[in-house]
Amino acid sequence: MKISIGNDHAGPEYKKAIVEMLKAKGHEITNYGTDSADSVDYPDFGHPVAIDVSEGKADFGIVICGSGNGISMSVNKHAKVRAALCWIKEIAVLARQHNDANIISIPARYTSIPQAVEMVDAFLNTDFEGGRHQTRVDKISC
């Protein structure tokens, strides 16, 4: 799979662990995130991920900021993007099964690195159920 990842200053260590896991599984990664703890603006690192997903250059995206909210709001402005803020594995699974989410947003200040890695793995390995959920997903875009 092709996966784009972006993070602000709250997420460099999370990104590092996630990318390591993804590369070990053979995924192709495009990294738009910062590697520094110096303060940056999360939209600058989320928008390139959303563009890759919306234009089909990436199968999925991963975004990380302190709360996960700001970067999620930013990427959800893009057509064809359905980003889900996830803080436990079960939410990540439901975001894929029921919402056909294509970007996972991780709150670095409220999850551990092992939790984040587990969520990403679950997210990428869960299929959309379709059926009654498809009708709802079709109503999301404006």
The residues annotated with a catalytic role in the active site are 65, 98
Sheet holding 60-65, edge to edge: 28-31, 2-7, 60-65, 103-107, 83-85
Q: Please state, in angstroms and as integers, the Cα–Cα distance from residue 107 to each residue in 4, 12, 15, 94, 95, following that order.
A: 17, 12, 12, 17, 15
Residue 4 to residues 8, 51, 62, 75, 133, Cα–Cα distance (Å): 14, 10, 6, 12, 25
